[in-house]
A and B are shown apart, each in its own frame.
Chain A
Amino acid sequence: MALRYDKQDKDFLAHYAQVTGTAVIQHLEQLAAPLKGAKVVHVNSTREGGGVAEILQKLIPFKQALGIDASWEVINGSPAFYECTKGFHNALQGLDVHIPESLLQAYEETNARCAEQLRPVLEQADFVFIHDPQPAALLSHFPKRRGKWIWRCHIDASHPFRPVWKYLRSHLGAYDASIFSLPEFAQPLPHPQYIIAPSIDPLSDKNRDLPPAEIDAIYSRFGLDPERPMVLQVSRYDRFKDPVGVIQAYRLAAKLTPLQLVLAGGEASDDPEGMAVLQEVQQAAANDPDIHVLLLPPDAHRTINALQRASDIVIQKSIREGFGLTVAEGMWKGKPVIGGDTGGIRLQVFNHYTGFLVRTPEGAALRIRYLLHRARLRRQIGERARQFVMDNFLNTRHLREYLTLLVGLQDGCRERVVVG
């Protein structure tokens, strides 16, 4: 890929400077200077759907704008491959999952085939980021790699199902470093383990400001009542997101306060269980006219943005969560968030400051009622939540940490690196 650092890049950076201030962008430019021209490749298993794809969609052009030769590759596999990697995902999050040998074989064959396809790119790269377990076995096919390889785990791996973890660990040990979202998620591995929280992009269609008319149009489009409070959960249809628990919470709260619930989700192309969970959710909703179960296409970013802005409370009642980008998205729109007391949600939701952490549908119902009866408090919490995201969870912070890691790895992982 030809290097570019031109007016287009300066404009790109200038747009971010308008949100974060110029000092933040200057800081990134100085940090990226020693990496100018470095070939950095990110590899995952889906270009659309899910938080990883969303992060990469902007992180790659951001790195390019800073003069880094960044690119993004996607591996594709058979249904057996995705069944296997979904099993990995569930097992890393603690489910007792036994993966048959035939699926492991499909996993290894897919990685072997993709390694050949990607060999020219990955063998010459200075840095390779492998995201999550799907492409983790690629490394073993690159004995002549010249760069540093980093495994990025986006999953809450705090209590993995050990047999599956042992299998994955055999593929991970040779990496030069790994990255986890929280200290609790890090597992013993024979290389440095960095802690980097994910982020949202303030200028993406999902998060940028919208004209009021576009937000208002959401009500008629989905048959919502603009006069009644709206609680929203945006998530893939995944049992770890506990959409059925959200419906239970809605039912408990709706006994005492007028309310409508929107569950908005899409499918990730690497998640074979999504349709089954969606059916469970539709059954649980039982044709209640105030429960709106939406299946949105992967590019419905502005629709999700408008739904988040139209809602009164954002909920993310996950029972396991790597980070929970939808929490940061809701907070960025000035909404209080009721989140499951787990994983990366704990990094974002602080009781009474940015929302509430809950463990049960009853807890979620209690906080829905509490917040709906206090409009002023909702606004105050929402304002604090937006500032908290501004200070901690925008992609400028994420990029700063990635650049710091790369400069550090380039320099041999010493505790103190002085450049320039």
Chain B
Amino acid sequence: MKTAAPAISPFEVRDCALITLSTGIKVQNLKEFRDALEKIPLASIGHHFWGRLLRPQFDEPEYNNDFASWAYRGLHDKTLAERLSMTLPTDFDSLEQLRLELVDTVEQRLDESEMIPWARADQQFYFLHSQIVVFDTGLRFDDPVDLVSYLPTLSTGCIYYHFIDARSRTEQRCDDFSAWLAGFGGRYRGLIERLCGFDPYFSSLEEIRAHVASLFQTFFEEQS
């Protein structure tokens, strides 16, 4: 591999695997949901925003997190579903702040409701969380252009780790590719802006991989 910028650390490709766990907490109405939001582990909140990427599903995700989906499908409360779906984890400095926002949103809806919205017994909400195992693939890239041919072959675990997990793991609250490219000064600003402008909430990991690969390819074609 070429060494374009030796002062910058190489991009270290890591992979990951996730497994889902039950928290043992389930709810059937909006009041129970509010109470549970206050006490569930923070990891559960993160899981319900991103865990859907790892779960079998076929229908187009009309709402982009599990809380919003349940509000619509379980409680049949479209107003709440719309509000919850526009709660973006990246707008908050911590999952604790995100939790408070979710509780506020549900509280507001409870205040507006004449009756407590409830779900059928077979439509309860099960709070889950996940465990992540991260491993080093041993692959290193010194020059961003070398990623162009490699990105389409990345496993979905790599995509999850570098593009999704990074948003809650890093101080910059952005994906690992953008954080690494920023280390080269302004040289890759255009690519960083395109990466940051991509909304991954409605995409599968395969679609995210294809899109990120295409952003890299287009950028370097324009440069050449």
Q: Using a CB–CB distance below 8 Å, which chain A residues touch chain B? A: 23-24, 26-27, 30-31, 33, 180, 183-184, 186, 188, 192-197, 347-348, 350, 353-354, 384, 388, 391-393, 400-401, 403-405, 407-408, 413-420
17 contacts between A and B (CB under 8 A): A23-B155, A24-B155, A26-B155, A31-B133, A183-B126, A183-B128, A184-B124, A184-B126, A186-B22, A188-B24, A348-B56, A350-B58, A354-B58, A388-B58, A400-B17, A401-B17, A416-B131
Complex A-B, nearest 10 residue pairs according to Cβ-Cβ distance, in ascending order: A183-B126, A186-B22, A392-B56, A350-B58, A404-B17, A193-B22, A195-B20, A404-B19, A353-B58, A420-B136
Whether A31 contacts B19 in the complex (CB less than 8 A), given A193-B24, A415-B43, comes out as no
CA distance A393 to B56 in the complex (A): 9
Whether A23 contacts B153 in the complex (CB less than 8 A), given A193-B22, A196-B19, comes out as yes
Which residues of B sit under 8 angstroms from A192, Cβ to Cβ?
21
Which residues of B sit under 8 angstroms from A33, Cβ to Cβ?
135
Contact between A416 and B134, CB atoms less than 8 A apart? yes
**How far does the Cβ of A262 sit from chain B's closest Cβ, in whole Å?**
27
Interface residues of B in 26-78 (CB under 8 A from A): 43, 56, 58-59
**How far does the Cβ of A185 sit from chain B's closest Cβ, in whole Å?**
9
Closest partner residue, chain B, to A410 (CB atom): B133
Contact between B153 and A408, CB atoms less than 8 A apart? no
Contact between B20 and A194, CB atoms less than 8 A apart? yes
Which residues of A sit under 8 angstroms from B24, Cβ to Cβ?
186, 188, 193
Whether A350 contacts B59 in the complex (CB less than 8 A), given A195-B20, A404-B19, comes out as yes
Q: Does B132 belong to the interface (CB within 8 Å)? A: yes
Closest partner residue, chain B, to A184 (CB atom): B126
Whether A404 contacts B137 in the complex (CB less than 8 A), given A353-B58, A415-B43, comes out as no
Q: Which of B20, B22, B126 has the most CB of A within 10 A?
A: B22
Q: Using a CB–CB distance below 8 Å, which chain B residues touch chain A? A: 15, 17-22, 24, 43, 56, 58-59, 124, 126, 128-129, 131-137, 153-155, 157
**How far does the Cβ of A405 sit from chain B's closest Cβ, in whole Å?**
6
CA distance A31 to B152 in the complex (A): 21
Which residues of A sit under 8 angstroms from B20, Cβ to Cβ?
183, 194-196
Closest partner residue, chain B, to A405 (CB atom): B19
Which residues of B sit under 8 angstroms from A184, Cβ to Cβ?
124, 126
**How far does the Cβ of A142 sit from chain B's closest Cβ, in whole Å?**
25
Which residues of A sit under 8 angstroms from B18, Cβ to Cβ?
404
Contact between B133 and A417, CB atoms less than 8 A apart? yes
Which residues of B sit under 8 angstroms from A180, Cβ to Cβ?
22
Whether A27 contacts B15 in the complex (CB less than 8 A), given A416-B132, A420-B135, comes out as yes
**How far does the Cβ of B138 sit from chain A's closest Cβ, in whole Å?**
8
Contact between A419 and B135, CB atoms less than 8 A apart? yes
**How far does the Cβ of B67 sit from chain A's closest Cβ, in whole Å?**
15
CA distance A192 to B19 in the complex (A): 12
Besides the known contacts A180-B22, A193-B21, A353-B58, 18 further A-B residue pairs in the complex with CB atoms under 8 A apart: A27-B15, A30-B15, A31-B135, A183-B22, A186-B22, A186-B24, A195-B19, A195-B20, A195-B128, A347-B56, A354-B58, A391-B56, A405-B131, A408-B133, A413-B131, A415-B43, A418-B133, A418-B135
Contact between A404 and B22, CB atoms less than 8 A apart? no
CA distance A401 to B54 in the complex (A): 11
**How far does the Cβ of A282 sit from chain B's closest Cβ, in whole Å?**
33
Contact between B126 and A404, CB atoms less than 8 A apart? no
